[in-house]
Structure 1
Amino acid sequence: MAFSLKGVAYITGAGSGIGQYAAYSMARQGVRSFALLDRNPVTQTVQHLKKTYPDVKIKEIEMDVGNEAAVNDSVEQTVKEFGRLDYALNNAGIGGALDTTDKIEKEDFERVMNVNMMGVWLCQRAQIRQMLKQAKWSDSYRAYRGSIVNTASMYGKVGPTLPATAYCTSKHAVVGLSKADAIQMGPRGIKINALCPGYVLTPLVQSTMNKGSVMDDERAKVPIQRFASMEEIGDIVAFLHSDASSYIVGSSLVADGGFTIA
């Protein structure tokens, strides 16, 4: 079915990568009200949206997702600006050191967990609290009070081939959090899912390709012999927020080109 998105979107990590392209995809499907959040400026995302969709309204918020007060305030600001919060993408995350457990320092492990796991939990908690206060966005049986998508990873489903212990642990936690809250919040009208992408051609990954890097070896393991474009993953986010995915609840949707089945 064709689908459109008409509500208010809240996206962390919106300054680049998946967050940026999710905003573009959601705008193509009709969203015109955005809260865009990042620790870094979201200038490029904002400029593209405003140039392509002159009627778009954007609330820019600089935020560390590990800061509880800042997260709660960001949701309050979004609702004050737009009246409600319909679609949330909890996407901010870091890779961390490529070390095994015997080598990684405690503070480095905690830093990854604070952003990738605790940051998602803080955002999701604030979003749920708001969504429970608002009515469904339509009278359709497909409608919800709100939809939340958490960016996990294919390494939230399987163990990594690289020594990314902290990252893998954090993304497994995101999958578990998404499932647990989906069970409790589904009956209350909030749809929650996790997205588990494989390798994506972000600017950082692109800069290392064809230089004999480990990324070239990883690409060779993908059955379709390429990494995902940022646009492809952004489109999946839009789909998961749409009525077309109304019966997808608590999933950890894998989009990895077949990497984890090879």
Structure 2
Amino acid sequence: MRGLQDRGIVVTGAAGGIGAAVVERLVTEGAKVVAVDLVAPELDGVVAARAVDVTDEDSVAAAFAEVGELMGGIDGLVAAAGIQASGPTHELELDTFRKVLDVSVIGTFLCVKHAVPAMLERGDGRIVTFGSTAAVCAAPELTSYASAKGAVLQLTRSVAVEYAARGIRANCLCPGGTMTPMMRAIDERRTGPDHFRERHPIGRYAEPAEIASAAAFLLSDDSSFVVGAALMVDGGYSCA
């Protein structure tokens, strides 16, 4: 894709199935990638890997300052870090609800906050946050996750309209079910029908590489007029 060669891009949640696939795709496209997770991920082709707690501003600020110097600036951010919890709303522990929001919403906010100044200096930047079908479609027992992803989508839209005229494009990528290692393990243990998979009109889950392709598109020059979008990469789930 156009415009990714030698771009300095930070990817959070890089140890996860989707995050690692994003890193791999960007490295293939010739980008300079710093991979970030709670434990520094071991991935090929990256400029550096760093252990960062995205819910801790000191940790984020220090890492992004170092990354900016290491890469000569920050051209792009993929904020893929997030966690999920499920269960009946009336049984959900407050600490669990708060933790899900902390990682997805506070983590995304802090990474955007500390990436934007470097982008403003260059007059150019691309931000990809991670929502979900849960950001736009209701589902039972996903109160904390849906709340977090809905907030990430609105955060992204706000950032998009605030900085678009200053050369920064922000968009929210919303995947459907994706065959990550965690999903594969669940699939292997399943004894009955997979009703979540059945709700995807395409008839299957995404592979992480398919989600990574959409992230690469949003970071590239090929998406130059895409601003503040909720890009549904969900096999038709959200419109079924």
User: Is TM-score (shorter-chain normalized) higher than 0.5?
Assistant: yes
Specify whether residues 128 and 216 from structure 1 end up closer, same or farther in structure 2 by C-alpha distance, changes over 3 A only: same
Alignment pair present for 1:69 and 2:47:
no
Specify whether residues 37 and 178 from structure 1 end up closer, same or farther in structure 2 by C-alpha distance, changes over 3 A only: same
What secondary structure is seen at the aligned counterpart in 1 of 2:90? coil
> 1: CA distance between counterparts of 2:95 and 2:200?
33
Alignment pair present for 1:177 and 2:166:
no
Task: Give the Å deviation of 1:217.
Answer: 1.6
Alignment pair present for 1:151 and 2:130:
yes
Q: Deviations over 1:227-260 (max 9, x none)?
A: 0000000011000001110000000100110111
Task: Give the Å deviation of 1:119.
Answer: 0.5
Q: How do 1:206-217 and structure 2 match up within 5 A?
A: 206-212=184-190, 216-217=194-195
Could you list the runs of 5+ residues in structure 1 that have no partner in the other structure? 50-56, 136-144
Task: Give the Å deviation of 1:199.
Answer: 0.6
Greater mean deviation of Cα atoms: 212-221 or 99-108: 212-221
1:139 corresponds to which residue?
none
Specify whether residues 173 and 76 from structure 1 end up closer, same or farther in structure 2 by C-alpha distance, changes over 3 A only: same
Query: Which letter maps to 1:169?
Result: S
Query: Which letter maps to 2:126?
Result: S
Return the match for 1:167 from 125, 139, 145.
Answer: 145
> 2: CA distance between counterparts of 1:18 and 1:215?
24
Query: Which letter maps to 2:39?
Result: N
Tell me the C-alpha RMSD between the 2 structures. 1.5
> 1: CA distance between counterparts of 2:2 and 2:106?
32
What secondary structure is seen at the aligned counterpart in 2 of 1:132? helix
Conserved 8 A contact 1:4-1:29: no
Return the match for 1:247 from 225, 229, 232.
Answer: 225
1:9 corresponds to which residue?
9
> 2: CA distance between counterparts of 1:178 and 1:167?
16
Alignment pair present for 1:82 and 2:71:
yes
Task: Give the Å deviation of 1:210.
Answer: 4.7
Q: How do 1:18-37 and structure 2 match up within 5 A?
A: 18-31=18-31, 33-37=32-36
Q: Deviations over 1:103-150 (max 9, x none)?
A: 111111101110011100011111112211224xxxxxxxxx110000
Identity of aligned residues (%): 30
Could you list the runs of 5+ residues in structure 2 that have no partner in the other structure? none
1:138 corresponds to which residue?
none
What secondary structure is seen at the aligned counterpart in 2 of 1:85? coil
Task: Give the Å deviation of 1:25.
Answer: 1.0
Specify whether residues 39 and 168 from structure 1 end up closer, same or farther in structure 2 by C-alpha distance, changes over 3 A only: same
Query: Which letter maps to 1:34?
Result: V
What secondary structure is seen at the aligned counterpart in 1 of 2:108? helix
Conserved 8 A contact 2:88-2:141: yes
Task: Give the Å deviation of 1:212.
Answer: 2.9
What secondary structure is seen at the aligned counterpart in 2 of 1:191? strand
Specify whether residues 213 and 10 from structure 1 end up closer, same or farther in structure 2 by C-alpha distance, changes over 3 A only: farther
Conserved 8 A contact 1:86-1:131: yes
> 2: CA distance between counterparts of 1:203 and 1:213?
18
Conserved 8 A contact 2:39-2:50: no
Specify whether residues 118 and 259 from structure 1 end up closer, same or farther in structure 2 by C-alpha distance, changes over 3 A only: same
Task: Give the Å deviation of 1:215.
Answer: 7.8
> 1: CA distance between counterparts of 2:71 and 2:62?
14
Return the match for 1:91 from 80, 96, 99.
Answer: 80
Query: Which letter maps to 1:232?
Result: E
Structure 1 stretches of 4+ moved >6 Å? none
Aligned residues: 239
